[in-house]
Structure 1
């Protein structure tokens, strides 16, 4: 098997077993993983969200995680950045189980992450410049002149140098996303997480945001993890695609392998077909 990919001639496990138990990603020789999720389970009351999820994200690559609403994709991201503690299982980041270190050590690990939330999560009382500068002012001892250089460089990358004085309520949804992206990058993170970055954007602006993600990744590298429902985004930006269903990883492999999969659920979800195991319930 190539990178955690279940192929057509894999006869060791039935599709029913995969749906019930998920898959465990195999490591390719020479591929390093900064983020490793091992049999993670998480419930909220009686609602089981993650039911034994295993996934390793290849470094210096873009991985997209797809799946129906409510299947645990965003909850997975919150586990990776240490905002949610699993009921069981291991969240290993940069070689450390983040729930077996001190809160101070966990906070230091978080500084190596950048996160772009659905709506940009900008502070409404701050202009674009101050929003992007916020992590540098909070987490570093840099002089204001140094902060300005970093912030303006990042804003130039995302095409927002003319919007530095505007407030979030004065700019478009696409500009908020780009500002959130710039803020996610100011601490030069090793891992960047995108929680539905294309949410609320029209197809053209989604495509432009995808171009920006590819451009910045090509320039700076890093491990990028995207959660999205947009199949076009997954096809355009991804090196790897993971598919989550019912709280488990049921497919993980290179992008074209995912789109050529003959697993009924994967094929149905990526094609948007109404016929298959996924229904309205």
Structure 2
């Protein structure tokens, strides 16, 4: 089936997703999702599936629901209608205890790293292990230092968040997102606030860790260079719907006027200021 779709029924954009995951069937499916905040309708029947072991980049203009999509996937927001399936489970048809267990299979990198200012880098990264496991401190240290080494921060373990750069905060947040060995990692604008060089370096880290980890990564970004560099698949959201989904190479070669305009950053095309 052609993965591209413009308008029409939202189910036309569903890609076929193999159920093999990272050896565990890791997969997320969002179907016909509607969500409003007061009178503002954010999601308008969004449907999308995420391929296991791949990096899927979610692009779209501001206010189209990209971050809201992530919050639905991790079970922080309940849809007005539609379904969110994680590892084959509709997360709003299971008990809260089961939903909490599903959340532990996610890692999340927030826009600013979301580090605790009262903790040093090491304790920030160790926090999920101390909260959600009974591991002894020796094992926690082994895991934390392994993750810090992966993101190039092993020498910064004792530094406070206000003593490190924005790029280092992002990498520390990435390390924290990985310590529970998640099957799905969500990135909410990981390049926000970073200069082009640090953005490129962070992208290198994401690609390197994904090459070793083989999890399902979902990256929300405005940065076209990030999308071009890290993506296996690209989903383009506009007005609460998926208007394009496909392999990254196909997206950047697309003749679709909307896709071409957005990925080129052109002012001329169907996408306006509204």
Query: 1:39 aligns to what SS in structure 2?
Result: strand
Q: Within 5 Å, which residues of 2 pair with 1:132-151?
A: 132-151=125-144
The residue number in structure 2 matching 1:161 is 154
The residue number in structure 1 matching 2:42 is 49
Q: Does 1:27 align with 2:11?
A: no
**Offset of 1:5 from its aligned partner?**
3.5
Aligned structure 1 segments of 4 or more residues deviating by more than 2 angstroms: 20-24, 28-33
The residue number in structure 1 matching 2:194 is 201
The TM-score normalised by the length of structure 1 is 0.93
Distance 1:173 1:261 in 2: 34
The TM-score normalised by the length of structure 2 is 0.95
Query: 1:249 aligns to what SS in structure 2?
Result: strand
Distance 1:29 1:151 in 2: 32
The residue number in structure 1 matching 2:262 is 269
Q: Does 1:241 align with 2:234?
A: yes
The residue number in structure 2 matching 1:260 is 253
Query: 1:89 aligns to what SS in structure 2?
Result: strand
Structure 2 residue ranges without an equivalent (≥5): none
- The answer on whether the counterparts of 1:113 and 1:193 sit within 8 Å (CA) in structure 2 is yes
Distance 2:18 2:97 in 1: 33
The residue number in structure 2 matching 1:126 is 119
RMSD: 1.5
Q: Does 1:210 align with 2:203?
A: yes
Distance 2:20 2:46 in 1: 20
- The answer on whether the counterparts of 1:51 and 1:247 sit within 8 Å (CA) in structure 2 is yes
Distance 2:17 2:163 in 1: 47
**Offset of 1:107 from its aligned partner?**
0.4
Structure 1 residue ranges without an equivalent (≥5): 7-14
Can you list the C-alpha shifts for 1:118-169, whole angstroms capped at 9, x where unaligned? 0000000000000000000000000000000000000011111111111111
